[in-house]
Amino acid sequence: MPGKTSKDILTLIRENDVKFIDIKFTDLPGSWQHFSVPAASFDQGAFDNGLPFDGSSIRGFTSIDKSDMLLRLDPDSAVLDPFHDVKTLSILADVEDIVTGEKFGHDPRYVAKKAERYLQTTGIADTAYFGPEAEFYIFNDVRYDQNMHSGYYYVESDEASWNSGRDEKPNLGYKMRTKEGYFPVAPKDTMQDLRSEMCLSLMEAGIAVEAHHHEVGNAGQAEIDLRFDSLVKMADKLLLYKYIVKNTAAQNGYTVTFMPKPLFQDNGSGMHIHVSFWRNGENIFHDQAGYSRLSQTAIYYIGGVLKHASSLLAFCAPSTNSYKRLVPGYEAPINLVYSARNRSAAVRIPITKASKSTRVEFRAPDPTANPYLAFAALAMAGIDGIQNKILPLGPYDKDLYDLTTDEKTLIPHTPTSLEEALNALNNDREYLLKGDVFTNDLIDTYINYKQTREVEGVASRPHPYEFALYYDA
């Protein structure tokens, strides 16, 4: 089905009396950046010539001596923004060098596009479908600070178990018990209407929603399931999903976080990623006679993902907070094996009878990931597994937390820190460089940013719990 053209967008602007065009692009860590152009001065030239901007002020982009860059608009990404009183149209853009006209190697969306093209050149498949499940927490209030002489955070949720004794005049007592937030009805689940409003906005923006529900975490954890799409389009949709979820919450007096582990002693927020490869309209991951209806190609894909899992997680679980989620317990998928149905394995095979629904679910990622880089890296790891016929460890069809000590020693685990994942990426990157999808320069820039800004930034600051442990030493 053909996408929207620039002429379609100009017509849409006129017919909807749009006042501003909001241009969005993605920085290296994975956050949207934007500026707005008056519709009165927006014409075909914006599409033909692009729009200039200062790339030196964007995280992970370029130095001040090469700051002038160009945004090339993608008309097919245009959507009316539901959150502004002034009628605004949102359009995504790709980044180019303003002098040479070449695509910018640090643009995450460009990396994702290269991954799609490389998959097609291999002859393995023509389409990679991705279906992320980005969980999040909805809080009533959040306060945090970090300075020279203090550091703290404080979150509040009206649903939380810790408020069972709060004087609410009256406290009706319908609080979520810890780790019992999965599927209870109202009045315990107070977020039904808010999640429904989020879903309505998502659907109005063209994002297909399959379901929404309360998640395990007692203090307002939630999940909205989106229908799968191809690699770049799904990454586009995931950033729009986060934008809509956060802004819908804010308009209703709530705050949303996609942090993997905002609460101690309750479940973290993951982003399980479902993947399947297709060729000529057929799902090549399906084989009715295979283990859990998986084809040998799918098994090799899993082999590539598990072999490269430690370096993959530098992109798929890219925060220091990610590794507070990836710990034993709390349904954390820390075991680098695969299994049907088993949620304690890093790779799970959802049970399905339809060939088109056969897929592989990588459970270790979380929603702090830049989806363009995470999806591209997952595709590249799987391609490497298929090309080199890498066999994964498993399948394991029992609770991996109940294994004997000897059995556990045979199973590799996810990294225990972001620094460990970054070191793994530094040493295991060749599979990402195929087809010039990722470049050494991009990977080096990414590692340096994460190491200096996040790993060292967290490591060099006193932790509040250290005062409880050591203040009276």
362: three-class secondary structure by DSSP: strand
What is the pLDDT at residue 1? Answer: 52
- Residue 390 neighbours by CB under 8 Å, 6+ apart: 300, 303, 304, 307, 384
Known catalytic membership, residue 135: yes
Strand partners, 327: none
**List 293, 363, 366, 384, catalytic entry:** 363
pLDDT (0 to 100) of residue 3: 84
Q: Is 192 helix (H, G, I), strand (E, B) or coil?
A: helix
Asked if 111 and 232 touch (Cβ cutoff 8 Å), the reply is no
Q: What span, in angstroms and rounded, lies between the C-alpha atoms of 310 and 423?
A: 9
The residue ranges of the chain whose pLDDT is under 50 are none
pTM of the predicted model, to two decimals? 0.96
| pLDDT for the residue numbered 408 | 78
Catalytic residue among 133, 158, 236, 454: 133
The catalytic residue among 43, 54, 397, 441 is 54
Q: What pLDDT score does 318 carry?
A: 98
Given 22, 107, 361, 366, the catalytic residue: 361
Residue 426's pLDDT is what?
98
pLDDT of residue 291: 92
Q: Which of 76, 343, 413, 420 is labelled catalytic?
A: 343
The question of whether 210 is a catalytic residue gets the answer no
Which among 94, 223, 266, 366 is annotated as catalytic?
Answer: 223
- Is 72 a residue of the active site? no
pLDDT at 238: 98
Question: pLDDT at position 330, please?
Answer: 67
**Tokens linked to 282:** 């057929």
Catalytic residue among 72, 109, 214, 272: 272
CA angle 406, 407, 413 (to 5 degrees): 110
- Structural domains in the chain, sorted by start: 6-103 (3.10.20.70), 127-470 (3.30.590.10)
Active site residue 116: no
What pLDDT is recorded for position 390?
A: 98
Active site residue 444: no
Separation between Cα atoms, residue 229 and residue 247, nearest integer Å: 23
Which residue matches tokens 């004087």?
167
Q: Which residue is catalytic, options 96, 189, 215, 229?
A: 215
Distances (CA, A) of 254 to 140, 168, 174, 245, 246: 5, 18, 19, 10, 9
pLDDT tens digits, residue range 409-455? 888 999 999 999 999 999 999 999 999 999 999 999 999 999 999 99
Q: Report the phi/psi class of residue 227: left, alpha or beta, with left for phi > 0 and alpha for psi in -120 to 50.
A: beta
Based on the residue annotation, tell me whether 456 is a catalytic residue of this protein: no
Is residue 361 flagged as an active site residue? yes
Res 170: pLDDT? 94
pLDDT digits (tens, 9 = 90+) for 227-265: 999 999 999 999 999 999 999 999 999 999 999 999 999
Quote the pLDDT of residue 135: 97
